[in-house]
Amino acid sequence: MDVGILGAGHYLPTKVVTNEDIEKIVDTNDEWIRTRTGIEERRFAEDSIDTSDMSYHAAVDALKEANVKAEEIDLILVATVTPDTPFPSVSCMIQDRLGAVNAAAMDVGAACAGFMYGLITAKQFIETGAYKKVLVVGADKLSKIINWEDRSTCVLLGDGAGAVVVGEVSEGKGILSFELGAKGAGGKELFQNKEGYLEMNGREVFKFAVRQMPESTVNVIEKIGLKKSDVDYLVPHQANIRIMDAARERLGIAEDKMATTIKKYGNNSSASIPMALSESVKNGKIKDNDLIVLVGFGGGLAWGAVAIRWGI
């Protein structure tokens, strides 16, 4: 059975926070942020909007794009590190709100790589014949865990959600190969501290990311007997434009063949890949039969990549 993405959707809060706004809170400036991260603005959810709300709206968009009804969904997987509450899970919350009465539900915790873990988990359930359609959501309200006294991390983060519906696709389409991995010894480089704030060793995370993203991309391409030049479009985790460009250049991929939403939205953790994917599809940058690679890394340290022949 060939398994792929039937439709993608996303949701962004309406509140725009510019670098100039950040300057009023932290000892930093627009030029410093732009040159080191590529970020010009990000979205923050209002206090009344939580992770489950963003997840719900992204899911509704994905279901619409896939032309799938909520009651057709067999399983809901939500990748997040900022749930509304420890329990009930975000997946259970949106199962109820969507009316997906036939779906099992669970959350996945792999930080910025969470969506990749969720997507591959969905693929396994469908390939075994256990389920037919799975909703995978990546959503985070990172504004909840920002330490405004740490100017190296507070400028990076934004809120949002992305979602996909996964199911059977025609022969030769869908997820062709994947790679998942973890390096628990690197967990100390990127984590949530006891006060609940994000902490990161930027230098070490940068070195890890610029090595792992190209390596994982090449690995999933080689698994299907293709080469780097066969990639039509790259959708990386939107962590930092310098990391993204370094990985893209190592792969020999042209700038216009890489999804880049970090300028407008910042780093959205679990949401960044599905948001960038959905926006790229809606903007016509990803077309039927394109070979695309999704690749992400995050706290854990964990990473994942998939090669997809786009289309149903």
Q: Active-site positions?
A: 112, 237, 267
Can you read off the two tokens belonging to residue 76? Answer: 């809901």
Kindly provide the b/e burial profile for residues 188-208, where b requires at least 16 CB atoms within 10 angstroms of the residue's own CB: ebbbeeeeebbbbeeeebbeb
User: Residue 277 corresponds to which tokens in the numbers above?
Assistant: 């994917």
| Side-chain half-sphere exposure of 86, counting CA atoms within 13 A | 0
Could you tell me the CA-to-CA distances from 209 to 32, 117, 186, 297 in Å, in that order?
A: 21, 17, 12, 7
- Quote the DSSP letter at residue 139: E
Strands 198-200 vs 190-192: parallel, antiparallel or unpaired: antiparallel
Beta strands in the chain (DSSP E): 3-11, 15-18, 41-44, 75-79, 104-108, 134-141, 159-168, 174-182, 190-192, 198-200, 233-236, 291-298, 302-309
Other beta carbons within 10 angstroms of residue 288's beta carbon come to: 9
Q: Can you tell me which residue has the tokens 């690995």?
A: 219
Query: Do residues 267 and 153 touch, judged by C-beta distance below 8 A?
Result: no
Name the burial class of residue 67, with classes exposed (0-12), middle (13-18) and buried (19+) by CB atoms within 10 angstroms of its CB: exposed
